[in-house]
Chains A and B, each alone.
Chain A
Amino acid sequence: MSEHLVDIRNLRLSFFTPAGEVKALNDVTLHLDEGEVLGIVGESGSGKSVTSYSIMGLTADPGKIVGGTVTFNGHHIESLGEKELRKIRGKEVSIIFQDPMTSLNPVYTIGSQIEESILLHTDKTREEAKERATELLRLVGINEPEKRIRQYPHELSGGMRQRVMIAIALACEPKLLIADEPTTALDVTIQAQILELINELKEKLRMAVILITHDLGIVSSMCDRIAVMYAGRIVECGTTDDIFYRPQHEYTRGLLRSVPNIQDRESKRLIAIEGTPVDLLNPPAGCPFAPRCPSCMKICLREMPPDHHYSEVHTAACWLHEKAEYEQRGGEGD
């Protein structure tokens, strides 16, 4: 069996809040190979960020891994202590957050924030680290890097700050970059710049990328494979073409139908997904999407559908395929 760079198996993670146990992740199984770009899409609260943070061991206090394993680059993340995790974070796996305004420290210069991770993970001297920081800023397309490393975050625009975040993330040439909604806070034209940059760097540095977003347009242009999450579960996973042209789960289909396409010649009425996202404190029995699903059957309310393999890489957790098979055999539908 080939080794995956990231291998998450049956991961269950809960947040123990005063209001009760919030099951943020239910049985998430996911893998990622070297140099691959995986997109995770889903609504807020669907668990897309929590899944990827678990690779870094970032499961902060009320959160706890209840079951399953997370393997990254040969490390068993779930069994490592804080000390060992700190050696991996920033070196083998890095992250870019959604909001570049709040994820940079306002009282340190750009330069010192980039140097920090270089000094921590390598045995470079201060001088060498500074040189590397300048080089990194040039790599992410910031002009006059010698001047910029002495500037503070407030002196830069949103797009520039996100470039600095990327420079910090790339400082130790990680094997995996997690981009958590990297462009949500940015304007469309700046978003296009940042996405192009991530694409370029991925090729240049041969790293794997996990791109978390709610924008289907972004994943369709960037990713090799896509995982669709809903209520802490991966409901469908497959290649980009599988998801966009052969979606099997009703939630994926609904998502694709509900966004207006700029290239449509006439404007048709949008087909919305009715209802509201699930309450993870009291998740329904059976399929979590069942209450909003247009083709909900009786079994959907009772039992969670198992993953069905449509092809080697394309899986979806939906009962509909059973119905289709049943009808093909000539039986009556349930």
Chain B
Amino acid sequence: MADRANLVEVRNLKQYFQVSGKNFFKKDCVKAVDDVSFSIPRSSTLGLVGESGCGKTTTGRTLLRLYEPTAGRIVYDGEVIFDSGDVPLYDEAGNPVTDADGKPVYGKKTRANMLPYRRKMQIVFQDPYASLDPRMTIGEIVGEAIDIHGLASSREERHEKIIRMLERVGLNSEHANRYPHEFSGGQRQRVGIARALAVDPEFIVCDEPISALDVSIQAQVINMLEDLQSEFGLTYLFIAHDLSVVKHISRRIGVMYLGKLVEMGDSYEITFHSCHPYTKSLISAIPIADPETNRHTHRIVLQGDIPSPVNPPSGCRFRTRCPYAEKRCAEEEPAWKEVSPGHFCACHFADSVR
């Protein structure tokens, strides 16, 4: 039995995409998400950060089974919703379960019918311009999900529900008959949030919900997401590339690089005591809105670009840009180990980096 304090548990999740490579007859594989494990406690927020192409969005979507995972196990509220059958089981303390002979016990192959879970697990997309159907009114957009899950028994109830949702996100009843193009970016993102909320979800994947918005509007949306969380006890997976925003909203943060989690821990630990060189440089690269601090801090500027995920570097994937890289990093993939309680890191030199 899985730990019920965790609403979502992901074990060794893999998502590979086939791409046509240089050779016509042989397909290459992009390991978009490679062996990612984490769990999200009920009513809390896990933040995922990383640069573009690191697999953070794919993790969020695979978790909802918008993409069929290549391998791994996803447990939602104690129910296994996906299991490829080759991931060993873990007990509540996180140790592998073994049988009488000491061999690890594997889970059963499972693919749950997703419909009931789709109601509980929702997503808010990054681009409020592309994620709303331009030919549907706001009322229809929010009402669609209510119809699919049969959550309203009468027309009146449905209408009332839509209005209530719109009002909850700071829009009003007149807006229900308008089309998306009549709204500003911030308002559209509110519609996206209202659509996710319409089916009374428990878990929402927020996929870069504020990146497309103006600075003055970003704070409004962040505050609203926080209010909704405390009001409905929602659980969030908050995906963004802006570490200062993720740190603000999340209790725990996972840092991804080229499809792998490289570090994970409490947001305070990650920002002030990070022990992976990538996290360190990511924090250092953030421009701080304070001229005095800028004059006195020295910025670590990473050299080079992110390598292609089709041919990731051997060993540690970050080694090509890492200022601490040694020979060992090319030969051996660093293990995922706990450096302090609740703080995990995958780096050979985690202790010295810190």
Hey, what's the 0/1 contact readout for A8-31 against B, CB within 8 Å counting as 1?
Answer: 000000000000000000000000
Determine the main DSSP class of B at the interface with A: helix
B216 near A277 with CB under 8 A, answer: yes
Query: Which bracket fits the contact residues of A?
Result: 35 or more
Set of chain A residues within 8 Å of B303, measured between Cβ atoms:
193
B51 near A189 with CB under 8 A, answer: yes
Q: How far is the CB of A19 from chain B (nearest CB, A)?
A: 13
CB nearest neighbor in A for B278: A189
B302 near A262 with CB under 8 A, answer: no
Hey, what's the 0/1 contact readout for B261-290 against A, CB within 8 Å counting as 1?
Answer: 000000110010000000001111111111
A269 near B223 with CB under 8 A, answer: yes
B301 near A273 with CB under 8 A, answer: no
B216 near A189 with CB under 8 A, answer: no
B215 near A255 with CB under 8 A, answer: yes
Q: How far is the CB of A216 from chain B (nearest CB, A)?
A: 4
Q: Is B177 an interface residue (CB 8 A)?
A: no
CB nearest neighbor in B for A46: B214
A272 near B220 with CB under 8 A, answer: yes
Known: A157-B305, A217-B288, A241-B291. A276 touches B217 (CB 8 A): yes
Q: Within the assembled complex, what's the spacing in Å between the Cα atoms of A277 and B245?
A: 22
CB nearest neighbor in A for B51: A187
Known: A196-B301, A271-B219, A277-B214. A187 touches B247 (CB 8 A): no
A259 near B283 with CB under 8 A, answer: no
Task: Find the residue from A244, A261, A265 having the highest chain B CB count within 10 A.
Answer: A261
Query: Which bracket fits the contact residues of B?
Result: 35 or more
A270 near B287 with CB under 8 A, answer: no
Set of chain A residues within 8 Å of B245, measured between Cβ atoms:
260
Q: Is A191 an interface residue (CB 8 A)?
A: yes
Choose from A43, A192, A260 the contact partner of B248 (Cβ within 8 Å): A260
Q: Within the assembled complex, what's the spacing in Å between the Cα atoms of A106 and B294?
A: 38
Q: For residues 303 through 338 of chain B, which have their beta carbon under 8 Å from a beta carbon of chain A?
A: 303, 305-306
Choose from A215, A245, A267, A270 the contact partner of B219 (Cβ within 8 Å): A270
A270 near B215 with CB under 8 A, answer: no
Known: A157-B305, A221-B291. A254 touches B216 (CB 8 A): yes
Known: A188-B51, A214-B215. A270 touches B248 (CB 8 A): yes
Q: Is B52 an interface residue (CB 8 A)?
A: yes
Q: How far is the CB of B51 from chain A (nearest CB, A)?
A: 4
Q: How far is the CB of A116 from chain B (nearest CB, A)?
A: 26
> Could you tell me which B residues sit within 8 Å of A by CB distance?
51-52, 184, 186-187, 214-220, 222-223, 226, 241-245, 247-249, 267-268, 271, 281-294, 299, 301-303, 305-306
Instruction: Enumerate the 5 nearest inter-chain pairs by beta-carbon distance, A residue then B residue, closest first.
Output: A217-B287, A272-B219, A260-B248, A258-B219, A187-B51
> Could you tell me which A residues sit within 8 Å of B by CB distance?
43-44, 157, 159-160, 187-193, 195-196, 214-218, 220-221, 240-241, 244-245, 254-256, 258-263, 265, 267, 269-274, 276-277
